[in-house]
Chains A and B, each alone.
Chain A
Amino acid sequence: MGVKLLYFAWVREKTGLGEETVDLPEHVRTVADLMTWLKARGPEYEAAFEKSDVIRAAVDQTHVAHNASITEAREIAFFPPVTGG
């Protein structure tokens, strides 16, 4: 079953898309795994996830750390540190 990926702010601008649905290979089990996997998908992704340590993630609309599991995730979002308010 596919998982929905969302990108916001400069992550969105660099990947060139706001959202997509992907089928993840079994070895992609954490947020960090997913960023590594995405980076290998093309130059846009490589550029978007180049500074992967500053990118924040949310799994099913909850903030998570990079070592969080994504094996049950339906929706995963990547974005820069938030700047609202």
Chain B
Amino acid sequence: MIRVQQEDFDIGAEVDALRAGRTDIGAIVTFTGTVRDTAGGEPISEMTLEHYPGMTEKELERIEREANARWPLQGTLIVHRYGPLQPGDNIVLVVTASAHRQAAFEAAEFLMDFLKTNAPFWKKEAGPDGGVWVDARDSDDDALKRWQSPKKAAE
């Protein structure tokens, strides 16, 4: 399941809802992305997340389908916030559930790597010098490459 929302999320409540009535799950992994109070040594007073309503949901659903095609997962959840956020606030939650831990760990990393490079969100940080759009990081593209098939990665 995916959700795009302005309001905060409760990690415990989300995990409880995902596993409610299930006894076949053996491993649950959660990842939470939060707003840092500095960027490149400069203090951040606020971060605003813009997104592309419609495409965001489509991309997150596509990424979730891809994870389910690659790993034997019993449940997945992606929650991503948008709008103005303060340092310390939650930004994104990924939950994966599987019979064993390896699939849950790997799928959680995969979901985050694909989300970071494909989901249409943009961060703008507000600091002492005004607002600055965050630049995309090459390391995020590199993180994505490890999920390509060995043949493709070698090309």
> What count of chain A residues pass the 8 Å CB interface test?
17
Contact pick for A84, options B54, B116, B133, CB 8 Å? B116
Nearest-Cβ distance from residue B105 to partner chain A, whole angstroms: 17
B136 touches A80 (CB 8 A): yes
Label chain B's interface by main secondary structure.
mixed
B51 touches A84 (CB 8 A): yes
Q: Write out, one digit per residue, whether chain A residues 55-67 have a CB within 8 A of any chain B CB (1) or not (0).
A: 0001001110000
Tell me how many residue pairs across A and B have CB atoms closer than 8 Å: 70
In the complex, A40 has a CB within 8 A of chain B: no
Q: What separation, in Å, do the CA atoms of A13 and B135 have in the docked complex?
A: 15
Residue from A12, A62, A82 having most chain B Cβ neighbours under 10 A: A82
Q: What separation, in Å, do the CA atoms of A63 and B135 have in the docked complex?
A: 19
The 6 closest A-B pairs by CB, nearest first: A84-B121, A81-B136, A9-B122, A61-B55, A85-B116, A83-B134
